Amino acid sequence: MIPGSAPFRLDGLRTGPPQSWGAVRIVPLLRDAPVEGLRLHRSVYDGGVRAVDVGDGSRYVAYIPHAFVATYGDDDAGTASYGTRMGAAGRAAEPERMAFGALRRMARRRGRDRLRFLPLHLAVEGYLALHFGGPEIVWERLSRRVVAGGLSPRAEQAVLGLQVAGLEDALRIFEIHPGQCGVCVYAADSLASVFIVPHPDDYRALHATLLEDMFGELIYHYALLMPSTGDLSGRIDAAAVRSLADLRAETRRLRAEWADFHDEVMAGGVLTYGGEYRTVQYLEEFTLGRHLPEFVPGRENHISESISHDDGRIAYFKSFRLSEAQVRRGHLLRTLARNDWHVQAAAADLGQTEAAFGLRLDRAGFGDLLRPDVLDLYRAEARRGRA
Amino acid sequence: MTEQAATETFADLIACEDVLMFVTAAITSTGQREFHHGAAEQRLSLDFLHEYVRTNYRELYAAALALGVNDHNAATIIVGLLRHAADVPPDRRRAEGALIARRLERMPQHRVHGVFRALRRAKVNNRRTRAIARDWFAARRDPAFDAVKYRAGVRDAMRHAHLKADGELGAFLFTRATAGRFTTPLFESWRRAHFAADALYDLPYTVAEGFAAEHGVPRGVFLQRIEPRMTRLERLRLQESTRAMKKVTAVNEHADLAAMGLTRLASYVLGLSLDDRAARRAELTGALRAAARRTAGAAAGTWGRVAAVLDDSHSTLGSGAKRRRPLAVALGAHHLLEALAAPGAYTPLWTSGRTDALLLYPYGPTPLGERVLDALETGPEQLVIVSDGFDNAPPGLAGEVLRVWRTRLDPGRAVAVTHLNPVYDAADFDVRRLSPAVPTAGIRDAEDLATLTGLARFAEGRLGLADLRAHLDEQVARFLAAPR
């Protein structure tokens, strides 16, 4: 596990000029040289609903329009990548028991130099499985169900990219830059997703898959409610220009200013990363892992997954902006876990009365955590306090 | 001039702006889907403009027929003028009638039938409309051929306009094919083609195609034998598809590139595969250059040092309805400007940075600002920008560069800068502008480049409504006096 405080860096990636359409702004990320040794392909599933046997009798069921296949090693680094499918025999076969533990089931080896993983599922699963096992200490206020079965199952909602107003048109109209390996998608100028691949050809092939990605409910509403984004282009200082050379220098300045502004302000929420990082799988010199944020309510919180090279370069990255309610849920779980699932201690940690904290858990959808009679007690206490 | 400036009111300025906006839209938009906007948006936006200008500036609206507005908009204008004519004084009607008749003469026949059909659907059947239809039919050179090729259109229009069909035409249009023999050879071939596959090769290609399908004539045999009957455009259109099908070579040999219009030729070239283009480089470049020289005419070589910024970004892909149209216009403009510029004094700058004009395809972003800077550095007398105006790398830089250039570096306007835009922006009711400092005009065919740079002067706002009226009157007079 890499220390959570290590900042996430975009080595070798330059920020390009933005293109906007309606409420959606798309910022390209360019590479001077592709990351060698890893290619991403798109594996198209025609079945749709997939069930993965997790191994202990339960199944992970998901609707999967496509998966990514990471091919590493040098042998076929130069091949075209669109629509690569797994062999029919491989797909028809029943998913075998996962050789990797519960955390790794979304990533699966296909052959010796290939890894199939479902885009964003790794990150989302990381969030869903947050303190999955439930309390380690049996406090009397916790309900029997939680003590016995943990927090499973938990459900969160996300919308398909197609449903985000204007995203389809924005992606269709977007003019892909030469050497472009990634993109930051903004809805109403709040960061919805960062998507980075190792090679420009991969990006060209996978550009449209952004439409099949998950986006948070926050992004859905922002895109729906914002008519159009503002103009962020800078102005040339006419007084400083005496010749064509000055004019050219000014345009260079505008470009650099934009890149700085974007990296520091607009994408700051994901690029300056707190939270924790967990390695999921090693692929020779690459590492597949996922990031979880610090869950600070009121701030941007992104969950993400990445493949990084041993030298620190990011080969693949995909992030998902959590909505405010999701952040609050993560925050509450974190607080509880930090206090060893002791309700009173957690409430004190947040500076709240026990009843207020209990009701807050209930409002966040964690009413099941507490025994019903304890919850009733909190409600009565709150009523008395108000009266 | 001072007197005129005094009488120039705010309303006049708005009128001038409105009319120019309309003319730009009517030149550029065809109500079809574009890269950024769908067909429905285009149509909604365009229909509004038509109604607005027709209601407020009817005289100028009619005069637009004399300008290079495209056939779609000319048809809309004609139908609009004829539908809403209740309180127009007789002398205005006469003037409108002359413009309409002249424009109909120049329109392709299927468009004219479209106009008649629209009038019929709108239940417009006044004396004036009937007279216009009568005069149009009377001026046709070969009524028998028209009747065979556009049988349904001719029939409906004649019926609607209460026209008398002379001789066998009535029997041909209004009775069954099996009724009896004709003495007109074309009619007789058409009748026989219902029964005998041999007869269909005397018919126009489009009509024969249907009969061939009915008789089950193999496509290869059919194309080979009908080839002499094809029009030039049919030949061009079929050339590539037949080659792909490896059916006939006869069609290839006769395709006449030299006689093609510049933009159409550019569209044709861009439709070929890159390998084909490379293999036929000398032929294609020669044809493009010849077409450009023909278009430039006497003006060839008179523009001095010319720099062009030409858009070949991803958005020049156009749409399914207008495939690669913006790129074709840019390619046509490239060759035309080369012909107009003094020999060796022309600098083309494609936005993608590519230099081989023959091997272009829509690719990459639109760094117009940088390219404009590059162009200005060559020290041109004329700078022409052909782009859809979606300047996005970085956005708005071209506008900034042109603004600063105009205010700081070239306040005397030594360099004439013109922006020509092949795409109508439905949301703005206008083509997209780069900067208020630079005049913008809509363009549909690269052939109109020279006249449009003239019209763009008005868009700059330095000339008023009186000048615009004078310009339009002059254009109308020239349009009506032009030989048939």
State whether B400 and A236 contact (CB < 8 Å). yes
Across A109-118, A175-184, B287-296, B356-365, least confident range: A109-118
| Nearest chain A CA: its distance from B394 CA (Å) | 5
Q: How far apart are CA A202 and CA A159, in angstroms?
A: 24
Whether residue B483 lies inside any domain: the answer is no
A7-60, pLDDT tens digit by residue? 445 678 889 999 988 899 999 999 988 888 888 777 655 444 555 555 555 555
Q: Which residues contact A226 (CB under 8 A, 6 or more apart)?
A: A23, A187, A188
CB A363 within 8 A of CB A324: no
pTM above 0.95, yes or no: no
Q: How far apart are CA A360 and CA A377, in angstroms?
A: 14
**Distance from chain centroid for Cα B241:** 24
Q: Which residue has the tokens 């934009």?
A: A258
Any A CB within 8 A of B373 CB: yes
Whether residue B256 lies inside any domain: the answer is no
Nearest to A251 among B364, B365, B373 (CB): B373
H-run or E-run covering B45 = helix B39-56
DSSP characters over A138-200: --TTB-HHHHHHTT-S-----EEGGGSTTHHHHHHH--PPTTEEEEEEEETTEEEEEEE-SSH
| 1-20 of A, contacting B, C-beta below 8 A | 16-20
Closest-CA residue of chain A to B318 = A173
- The interface predicted TM-score of the complex, written ipTM, equals 0.82
**Domain tally for chain B?**
2
The pLDDT score that the predictor gives to residue A82 is: 27
| 230-289 of A, contacting B, C-beta below 8 A | 231-233, 235-236, 238, 241-244, 247-248, 250-251, 254-255, 258
Same domain as B301, residue B227: no
The pLDDT score that the predictor gives to residue A18 is: 92
Looking at per-residue pLDDT, the higher value among B138 and A101 belongs to: B138
Structural domain including B227 reads 11-233
Q: What is the CA radius of gyration of chain B?
A: 25
DSSP characters over A42-84: EEE-SS-EEEEE-SSS-EEEEE-SEEEEEEESSTTTTS--TT-
Whether residue B276 lies inside any domain: the answer is no
CB A54 within 8 A of CB A105: yes
Any B CB within 8 A of A203 CB: no
Closest-CA residue of chain A to B34 = A173
Chain B partners within 8 Å of A177 (Cβ): 364-365, 393
| For chain B, percent of residues with pLDDT exceeding 70 | 93
Any A CB within 8 A of B435 CB: no
Question: Whole-number mean pLDDT of chain A?
Answer: 76
A317-330, pLDDT tens digit by residue? 888 888 888 888 88
Q: How far apart are CA A62 and CA A49, in angstroms?
A: 6
Nearest to B373 among A177, A233, A244 (CB): A244
Same domain as B461, residue B343: yes
CB B344 within 8 A of CB B383: no
| 195-214 of B, contacting A, C-beta below 8 A | none
Q: Stretch A193-210: mean pLDDT, rounded? A: 89
> Three-class SS of residue A233?
coil
Any B CB within 8 A of A85 CB: no
Q: How far apart are CA A170 and CA A211, in angstroms?
A: 10
Q: How far apart are CA A176 and CA A207, in angstroms?
A: 9
Pure H helices in B57-194:
58-63, 71-83, 90-106, 109-121, 127-139, 143-149, 151-160, 168-174, 185-193
CATH number at residue B428: 3.40.50.410
State whether A247 and B409 contact (CB < 8 Å). yes
| Nearest chain B CA: its distance from A304 CA (Å) | 28
| Nearest chain B CA: its distance from A17 CA (Å) | 5
Q: What is the CA radius of gyration of chain A?
A: 23
Same domain as B159, residue B81: yes
Q: How far apart are CA B180 and CA B474, in angstroms?
A: 53
Q: How many CB pairs under 8 A join A and B?
A: 78
| 117-176 of A, contacting B, C-beta below 8 A | 173, 175-176
State whether B409 and A243 contact (CB < 8 Å). yes
State whether A238 and B313 contact (CB < 8 Å). no
Residues composing chain A: 387
Nearest to B408 among A175, A232, A238 (CB): A238
Q: How far apart are CA A233 and CA A17, in angstroms?
A: 9
Q: What would you measure as the largest C-alpha separation in chain A, in angstroms?
A: 79
Domain final position from B191, B213, B233? B233
Ordered by start, the domain boundaries in chain A are 13-130+156-324, 342-387
| 303-322 of B, contacting A, C-beta below 8 A | 313-315
Q: How far apart are CA B398 and CA B127, in angstroms?
A: 53
Interface test with A, best of B397, B403, B423, B435 (most A CBs within 10 A): B397
- The C-alpha angle with vertex B218 and arms to B212 and B219, in degrees rounded to 5, equals 80
Any A CB within 8 A of B365 CB: yes
CB A46 within 8 A of CB A66: no
Interface test with A, best of B400, B406, B428 (most A CBs within 10 A): B400
* Tens of each residue's pLDDT in chain B, 484 residues: 444 444 567 788 788 888 888 988 999 999 899 999 899 999 999 999 999 999 999 999 999 998 889 999 999 999 999 999 888 899 999 999 999 999 999 999 999 999 999 999 999 998 999 999 999 999 998 999 999 999 999 999 999 999 988 888 999 998 876 668 899 999 999 999 998 888 899 999 999 999 999 999 998 888 888 888 888 888 877 876 666 655 555 455 545 777 788 999 999 899 888 998 999 899 999 999 999 999 998 888 999 999 999 999 999 999 988 999 999 999 999 999 999 999 999 999 999 999 999 999 999 999 999 999 999 999 999 999 999 999 988 888 999 999 999 998 988 888 889 999 999 998 888 889 898 888 888 899 998 888 787 777 666 666 677 888 888 888 889 888 887 6
Nearest to B404 among A19, A175, A238 (CB): A238
> Three-class SS of residue A320?
strand
- The C-alpha angle with vertex A172 and arms to A167 and A177, in degrees rounded to 5, equals 110
Chain B partners within 8 Å of A243 (Cβ): 409
Across A62-71, A282-291, B317-326, least confident range: A62-71
State whether B364 and A178 contact (CB < 8 Å). yes
Whether residue B77 lies inside any domain: the answer is yes
